[in-house]
């Protein structure tokens, strides 16, 4: 049977937070927590996260408290309650309105970085909380107006929802489902090289967004067929990974190929090939690179390689 269980959790999973969804509408609780000097604030600046130790290869998340948090909040950006960490409230706050956020912080407090560049080196809980903050702040910044009538929206549920000031329509953060799959036939797997890849020799699993009225298995088969012309039979779920860059969740699968001939869609892929296990175990020796270690694509490949 084509089934390779997940060997370990994916990056950006394993959040230590109690999301406290039942308390988001308790205005007195939220207001008190927001002003509590012990509460933690995760700043987001133009989709970047505040980190220490990046230059030394030992990154760690920076969460602000007290007066430091107040300075960042004075930037006037949106905020939201993420949850509770051992009874301490944790908020996300966006400070993108500041051209330079570092003057808002004490010296040596850290610098802002793209989370994806370091997530594989962060403790799982920290990566998950930073990703949560980034995704929610992106939604708040980019969805300030009602999709029904176009009027401005106001935050509700401690920043986890909004309501239209004119028609009262309620809006909630959206997560777009995308399937990502390692297609396998015998002792080989199918990898593709996208025009979008920054690495000119990287080959990765195929992926695509789920369309309306489509099951996940149907999405896997359709995407593989459209991009490579390969027919897919059995589809087995592996694991999922939040991917708030900006607002997706990756649903990972292993899929059984029923055909071998490749006919790529040149608008989707630059190249696609079958790679043997031996080639995938030694990509440098065969002139290609695998996807980044924090990606579910890499996990799908590694778990296939580890299977007997």
pLDDT score of 1 more than 70: no
8 A C-beta contact, residue 156 and residue 172: no
What is the four-CA torsion angle of 79, 113, 62, 101, rounded to 10 degrees? -60
Condensed to tens digits (0 to 9), the pLDDT of residues 9-49 reads: 899 999 999 999 999 999 999 999 999 999 999 999 999 99
Condensed to tens digits (0 to 9), the pLDDT of residues 63-105 reads: 999 888 998 888 889 999 999 999 999 999 999 999 999 998 9
198, two tokens: 């920054």
8 A C-beta contact, residue 75 and residue 125: no
Write down the pLDDT at residue 80.
98
Write down the pLDDT at residue 293.
85
């Amino acid at each position: 049977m084509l089934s390779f269980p997940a060997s370990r959790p994916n990056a950006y999973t394993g959040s230590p937070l109690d999301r406290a969804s039942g308390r988001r509408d308790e205005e007195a609780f939220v207001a008190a927590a927001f002003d509590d000097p012990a509460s933690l604030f995760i700043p987001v600046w133009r989709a970047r996260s505040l980190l220490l130790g990046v230059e030394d290869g030992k990154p760690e998340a920076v969460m602000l408290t007290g007066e430091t948090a107040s300075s960042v909040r004075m930037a006037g950006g949106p905020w939201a309650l993420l949850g509770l960490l051992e009874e301490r409230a944790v908020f996300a706050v966006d400070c993108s309105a500041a051209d330079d956020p570092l003057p808002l912080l004490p010296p040596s407090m850290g610098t802002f970085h793209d989370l994806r560049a370091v997530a594989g080196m962060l403790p799982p809980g920290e990566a998950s909380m930073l990703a949560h903050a980034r995704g929610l702040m992106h939604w708040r910044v980019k969805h300030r107006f009602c999709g029904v009538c176009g009027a401005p929206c106001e935050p509700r549920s401690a920043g986890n929802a909004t309501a239209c000031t004119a028609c009262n329509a309620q809006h909630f953060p959206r997560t777009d489902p995308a399937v990502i799959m390692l297609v396998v036939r015998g002792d080989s797997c199918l990898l593709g090289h996208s025009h979008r890849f920054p690495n000119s020799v990287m080959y990765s699993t195929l992926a695509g967004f789920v369309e309306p009225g489509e099951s996940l298995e149907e999405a896997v088969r359709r995407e593989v067929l459209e991009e490579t012309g390969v027919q897919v039979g059995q589809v087995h779920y592996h694991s999922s990974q939040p991917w708030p860059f900006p607002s997706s969740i990756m649903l990972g699968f292993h899929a059984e190929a029923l055909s071998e001939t490749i006919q790529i869609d040149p608008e989707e892929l630059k190249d696609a090939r079958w790679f043997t296990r031996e080639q995938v175990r030694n990509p440098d020796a065969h002139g290609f690179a695998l996807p980044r270690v924090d990606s579910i694509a890499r996990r799908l490949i590694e778990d296939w390689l580890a299977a007997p």
